[in-house]
Amino acid sequence: MAISAIWPKATDRNEHGELTFHGNSAASLLERFGSPLYVMDTDELRARAGGFVQAAAKAFPTATTHVSYAGKAFLSKEVCRIVSQEGMLIDTCSMGEMRIALAAGIPGRRLVLHGNNKSDAELELAIAEGFNKIVVDSPDDPERVASIARRLGKRARVMVRVTCGIHAGGHEYISTAHEDQKFGLALLPAGADPKIFDVLDGLGKGCGNSAQTVPTTVGDTDAAADTGADADADGRNDAIRYPYDVGDVKPTDTELALARAMDAVANGPAVAVLKDIAARSNDLELVGIHSHIGSQIHDANAFIQAGQRMMLLRRTFYATDAYVLPEVDLGGGYSVAYTDDEEAMDIPRELARLSEAVATVNKALGMPAPIISFEPGRSIVGPAGVTLYRVGTIKHVALPADTKDDQGHRISQRTYVSVDGGMSDNIRPMLYGANYTVAVAGFAGGADADGAGCMKQTGEDDGSMIARVVGMHCESGDVLVRECRLPHDLKRGDILAIPVTGAYGRTMASNYNQALIPAVVAVSEQDAHLMMRRQTVDDLLGLDVSA
C-alpha cells in the first residue's frame, strides 16, 4: 500500500521505517545501483497506460479512440514496449526518440512524429517506416514532406497542428495553444476577435429557438423557414439551414453568428495549410487535425473549448473542400499531483465530460463522429517514478526576525539539506518553479531511526525542522524541494526520496558541472533491474576528442 496517493501503489515502509518499492528497500537499491537513482515502478506505469486507454474508450463509446504516449516525458526501450502492450501508440519528436522506439520493436504504424523544426532525416525515416502520422507544424511542412515522400515512392500520412487560442497550463512555458509561440498554425486570421467562437457554447444544448439551433446539413435549401422548428429527440434540428446556403430565407441569429465564425476560420492559416495538403493528395494523406493546449490541466473545461473549436474547423473544411477530416487529436496535458495537497485530474470523469461536450457540438454541426485521439505523457509515467538521494551537508541558517514559512508562520531558522544530485537530474523546480515533497527513505549505518519522513508543514514542535532540499550544483537556484519538514536528527548518509519524478526528470537531465546522469532502475513484482545505466567519467571523457 502506498504511503500516500502521490507515491506508486507498491511503495511502503518496512519494520525499520525504510521506504520500500515492491519490497526492495531504498538502501538496497542504492547499494546495488548507486546514488542518485531514478526508480521506475513499471507495474504502476503499465496500470496507468492501460487505465488511460480504457478510460478513453469508455468515455467515447460511439467513437474510435487512439491514445499515444508522449515519449518526451520519458522514453526507453522498455517503456516503449510496456505502453505499446497496453494499446498505446508512441509520439516522438526527435531522431533519438524515433530510433529508441524503433529499436524497441515498435512498428512505424504505431508511431507519430511531432516537432516544429523536423529535419529532412527525421522526415525521411518517418516516411520510410510508414509512421501513423507526421504532424504538420508550419506552412512549409506540406511541400517538404510531399517532396520526400515522392522521392521515396511513398504516401505520407499527415495531420495539422492547430493553435486554437485556448490558454491552459500551469506555466507560460507549458501553455502551448496561444498564438504568440512557436507551435502550430493559427485557427483564426491575425486580428480576428476570438469572441466569434462564443456561438459554440450554446450549440445543441436546447431546441426550438434561434439562440440554440444550428445548421446541420450542407446546402439544405428545402429547410423550413420557421426558426422555431422543434428539434428531434437527439437534440438536432433538421429544419435549420446550412449558413453558406441560407438563400432568400432570413437566417436566425445563431446561423449568422455561426456563418461568421466559419468564414473567419475558412480564412485562417490552419485551413490554408489543410487546403495545401489536400492539393498534394498523390503524396500526402490528410488524416486529421491536432491541438495541444498546455500541461498540468486539472479539468476538462479548456479541453472542451478546444474540442468545440476543432469540431468547427472540421465542419468548416468540409464546407470549403467537401473533405471530412477523419481524426481529431486533442493532445495531452492531464495533470498529476506533485504534493499531497495537490489534486490530479480525474481522467475518467473529465474525459466523460469532454466526450459529452464534443458529441453535442459535433452532432449540432451535423458531422459524423471523428476518431478521437489523446497524447498523455506526464500522467502516465510521472507518478510511476521516484528519485533517491544521499544526504550530504546539513547547514542551519539563522533568518531575519520577520521571516515566514510558506504557511505564513514566523520562523527563525531554516535548514539547508544538500543531496548528491540536484538540477542536473531534475531541472523542473528551477525551470518552472515546480513544487515537490520529500520523505526520509533510509538511514546511514542501518535502519536504527524512526523514519518519520517529511512531516506536515506546520510550525509545531513535532521533532522536525523546516528544511529546504538543495542540490550540489553551483547555482543558488539549485533547489529540489523549496520547503518541507524533516527530522531534527537527519544526518549525512541518510536517504531521501522525492516522488512523482518519472516525467521530465531523466529526460531533461544534463551534465551541468559535469555531473553524471543517474541510472534508471525498473522495479516490479517480478524484480528490480537496470533499465538505463548510469553515466561514467569514461562517457564524459569519451566525448572530449581534443588533443
What does the pLDDT read at residue 173? 46
Q: Are residues 144 and 183 in the same domain?
A: yes
Among candidates 207, 252, 250, 214, which has minimal Cα distance to 231?
Answer: 207
Task: Out of 37-41, 364-368, 374-378, 407-411, pick the least confident.
Answer: 407-411
Q: Is the pLDDT of residue 217 over 50?
A: no
Residues 6+ apart with CB under 8 A from 336: 296, 344, 345, 378, 379, 382, 383, 500, 503
Q: Any known ligand binding at 378?
A: yes
Pick from 293, 345, 271, 365: nearest CA to 48: 345
The label of the residue with cell 528519485 reads 387
b/e per residue 376-396 (b: at least 16 CB within 10 A): bbbbbbbbbbbbbbbbeebee
397 and 519 share a domain?
A: yes
Q: Is residue 327 part of a domain?
A: yes
What CA–CA distance (Å, rounded) separates 256 from 251?
6
At residue 407 the predicted structure's pLDDT band, cuts being 50, 70 and 90, is confident
Average pLDDT, the chain: 88
Count of structural domains, the chain: 2
The answer to whether 377 is a known ligand-binding residue is yes
434 and 401 in one domain? Answer: yes
Q: What DSSP designation does 15 have?
A: T
Can you tell me the mean pLDDT for 369-378? 97
Residues 302 and 394 in one domain: no
Active site residues: 474
Quick one: 304 and 413 in the same domain?
no
Where is pLDDT greater, at 170 or 138? 138
What is the predicted pLDDT for the residue at 319?
Answer: 94
pLDDT of residue 254: 87
C-alpha 190/C-alpha 179 separation (Å) is 9
Site of grid cell 496500470: 47
Domain with residue 275: its CATH number is 3.20.20.10
Q: Does residue 328 lie within any of the structural domains? A: yes
The CA-atom distances, in angstroms, between 427 and each of 72, 95, 422 are: 15, 23, 8
**One domain, residues 361 and 411:** no
Query: Does pLDDT of 90 surpass 90?
Result: yes
> Distance between CA 11 and CA 150 in Å, rounded?
53
- What pLDDT band is residue 195 in, cutting at 50, 70 and 90? very high
Is 74 part of a structural domain of the chain? no
Q: Which residues of 260-283 are buried (b: 16+ CB within 10 A; e: fewer)?
A: ebbbbbbebbbbebbbbbbebeeb
CB 388 within 8 A of CB 29: yes
327-329 vs 185-186, strand pairing mode: unpaired
- Is there a domain that residue 229 lies in? no
List residues bridging with 419 in a β-sheet: 391
pLDDT band at residue 402 using 50, 70 and 90 as cut-offs: confident
Residue 379 and residue 504: Cα distance in Å, rounded? 11
Q: Give the lowest-confidence range in 247-251, 357-361, 424-428.
A: 247-251
Question: Lowest-confidence range among 271-280, 410-419, 451-460, 483-492?
Answer: 451-460
CA distance 170 to 342: 13
pLDDT of residue 405: 84
> Collapsing DSSP states into helix, strand and coil, what is residue 40?
strand
> Distance between CA 310 and CA 175 in Å, rounded?
18
**pLDDT-derived band at 179, boundaries 50, 70, 90:** low
CA 367 to each of CA 57, 216, 277, 322: distance values in angstroms, whole numbers, following the listed order: 20, 8, 21, 12
CA distances from 348 to 86, 336, 354 (A): 17, 14, 10
* Same-domain check for residues 145 and 279: yes
Model confidence at 314, pLDDT cuts 50, 70, 90, reads very high
Domain span at residue 505? 11-41+382-448+460-542
**464 and 532 co-located in one domain:** yes
Pick from 325, 352, 376: which residue ends a domain? 376
Question: Does the pLDDT value for residue 211 go beyond 60?
Answer: no
| DSSP reduced 3-state for 233 | coil
Q: Is 38 annotated as a binding residue?
A: no
Report, as an integer, the average pLDDT of 407-429: 93
Question: Looking at the domain assignment, is residue 146 inside a domain?
Answer: yes
CA-nearest of 11, 20, 26, 16 to 449 is: 16
Q: Which residues have C-beta within 8 Å of that of residue 77, sequence separation ≥ 6?
A: 100, 103, 104
- Own/partner pairs, 263-268, CB within 8 angstroms, 24+ separation: 264/188, 264/189, 264/192, 264/196, 265/187, 265/188, 265/312, 265/313, 265/316, 266/316, 266/319, 266/320, 267/189, 268/185, 268/186, 268/187, 268/188, 268/189, 268/192
Query: What percentage of the chain has pLDDT greater than the value 70?
Result: 86
Contact between 12 and 2 under an 8 Å Cβ cutoff? The reply is yes
Cα separations (Å) of 282 from 16, 119, 146? 67, 22, 9
Give Dmax over CA atoms of the chain in angstroms: 88
Q: Are 331 and 413 in a shared domain?
A: no
In this prediction, residue 224 carries a pLDDT of: 31
In residues, how long is the chain? 547
Q: Which amino acid is at 440?
A: V
Q: Which of 316, 348, 376 is a domain's end point?
A: 376
**Cα 458 to Cα 64, 238, 289, 415, distances in angstroms:** 49, 61, 49, 15
Last residue of a domain, which of 350, 376, 402? 376
User: Strand runs (DSSP E) across 94-253, as ranges?
Assistant: 111-113, 133-136, 156-163, 185-186
Comparing 196-205, 316-325, 480-489, which segment has the lowest mean pLDDT? 196-205
Q: Are 89 and 66 in contact (CB under 8 A)?
A: yes
In whole angstroms, what is the distance from residue 452 CA to residue 318 CA?
61
Residues 358 and 298 in one domain: yes
Dist CA 382 CA 384 (whole Å): 5
Is the same domain home to 195 and 313?
yes
Query: Residue 236 has what pLDDT?
Result: 42
Banded pLDDT at 240 (limits 50, 70, 90): very low
Half-sphere exposure of 247 (CA within 13 A, CB side): 13
Strand order in 19-21's β-sheet? 11-13, 19-21, 24-25
| Alpha-helical regions (H) of 71-204 | 77-85, 95-103, 120-128, 141-152
Tell me the pairing of strands 327-329 and 371-374.
Answer: parallel
List the CATH number of the domain containing 18. 2.40.37.10
Q: Is residue 278 part of a domain?
A: yes
Which of 357, 273, 274, 261 lies closest to 308 in space, CA to CA?
Answer: 357
> Are residues 396 and 342 part of one domain?
no
428 assigned binding-site residue: yes
